[in-house]
Amino acid sequence: MKKVILLFLTILVCYRPDITLAGEQKSHPLNERLSLYVKMETMTQIPWYVYAAVDQYEHQVRNARKDRPDSKGSIGIYFTPEKWAGPLNPNPADTNPITVSLFGGVGLDGNNDGKADINNDEDLLFTFANHLQKYGSHLDDIKIGLWDYYQRDQAVRIITSNIKLYKTFGTLKLDKHAFPVPLRSNYSYRSTWGDRRGWGGLRMHEGTDIFADYGVPVRATSYGTIETKGWNRYGGWRIGLRDLNGTYHYYAHLNGFEKNIKLGDVVKPGDVIGYVGSSGYGPKGTSGKFPPHLHYGMYKDNGVTEWSYDPYYSLRLWERQERIELRKNR
């Protein structure tokens, strides 16, 4: 019966002009997730892309942390057994909706099988939907509900960014990347993450320097939203975007920004967001203290904190993938 429902929902998705499937196979994991989001939308009037945004954030957090178990199904939303079954419940694995409710648990039966199963995708999504419904279906109301649930501004910002991306592109398959400067340009780079830097105090270099000529276009490496833009005394004119994996992409020492780009804008891989320069290491407008280059950094969020990691290997991968794609299109 569950497979029949899933197939029906997948067919329903096919007739939604605002949604694009991840592949032709009905059993594609992203299509299974999308079917669940659409089903929950019909039940709650909260758009599918809100559930997609929350679930993607939860998947991201699970992947970045060792203290959370892998998800048992398609949905990544996580509840502790104590929260699901109730803090005073003598049986933390309880699936009886009546006793779960009696002991103050949040777990609900989302597929009418008589169980509130913490490992069931529909039960998990329905339980989270029940929380959001208390606040309303407008974005501002949803953001309040998200803050009350996560108690973290960064979580709300990342999920809001995810909402924009899924709403704009109408698909879950947003995994393409681009190298940050055009491959036809004159550039060079090596692994410089972890090198010592001395200006403004001894510190570690949190990125890879890509040396290129003044004015070479700087491009978005992934789907994302513009999170920061402006001057920083270290990075000069810099811009940052947040992707669907919660990764913050930092572009510094720019000569300037692409015209009309602003905070909150949605970008896709290859979109020009700025231009190579040599700004920084001083008050606003300082430039020319070092050769022109792009400082490219990546920062990972795990639901609690954010840290820098070496972008060099990602850059090599994206460079290679783009070269292969260019050869295919010749």
For residue 2, the model assigns a pLDDT of 45
**Of 19-23, 131-135, 238-242, 294-298, the least confident:** 19-23
Name the β-bridge partners of 275. 217, 256
pLDDT at 166 over 60: yes
pLDDT at 132 over 60: yes
116 close to 95: Cβ distance less than 8 angstroms: yes
pLDDT at 7 over 80: no
Question: What's the rounded Cα separation, in Å, for the pair 248 and 326?
Answer: 27
Average pLDDT across the chain, whole number: 91
- Rg, C-alpha atoms of the chain: 22
Average pLDDT, integer, range 146-150: 97
For residue 143, the model assigns a pLDDT of 97
Q: How confident is the model at residue 193 (pLDDT cuts 50, 70, 90)?
A: confident
Query: Which of 323, 281, 46, 283 shows the shortest CA–CA distance to 167?
Result: 46
Average pLDDT, integer, range 215-223: 99
Q: How confident is the model at residue 15 (pLDDT cuts 50, 70, 90)?
A: low
Question: What's the rounded Cα separation, in Å, for the pair 195 and 293?
Answer: 16
Which long-range CB contacts under 8 A does 61-70 form with residues at least 24 apart? 61/246, 61/302, 61/303, 63/245, 64/246, 64/300, 64/301, 64/302, 64/303, 65/302, 65/303, 65/304
Domain ranges of the chain: 2-79+118-169, 187-328
For residue 202, the model assigns a pLDDT of 47
Structure confidence by residue, pLDDT tens digits, 31-46: 999 999 999 999 999 9
Which residue did the predictor score with more confidence, 24 or 155?
155
Could you give the percent of the chain with pLDDT greater than 70?
A: 89
For residue 302, the model assigns a pLDDT of 94
What DSSP state is assigned to residue 70? Answer: P
What does the buried/exposed string (b/e) look like for 125-141 if buried means 16 or more CB atoms within 10 Å of the residue's CB? Answer: bbbbbeebbebeeeeee
The domain defined by 187-328 carries CATH number 2.70.70.10: yes
Place of tokens 């978005």: 220
pLDDT at 99 over 80: yes
This prediction's pTM: 0.89
Q: How confident is the model at residue 211 (pLDDT cuts 50, 70, 90)?
A: very high
For residue 329, the model assigns a pLDDT of 84
For residue 196, the model assigns a pLDDT of 66
Structure confidence by residue, pLDDT tens digits, 56-87: 999 999 999 988 999 999 999 999 999 999 99
For residue 16, the model assigns a pLDDT of 66
Query: Which of 171, 202, 206, 201 shows the shortest CA–CA distance to 30?
Result: 171
Place of tokens 């559930």: 51
For residue 28, the model assigns a pLDDT of 79
Average pLDDT, integer, range 210-237: 97
Structure confidence by residue, pLDDT tens digits, 156-165: 999 999 999 9
Q: How confident is the model at residue 284 (pLDDT cuts 50, 70, 90)?
A: very high
Give the DSSP H or E segment for 316. helix 312-328
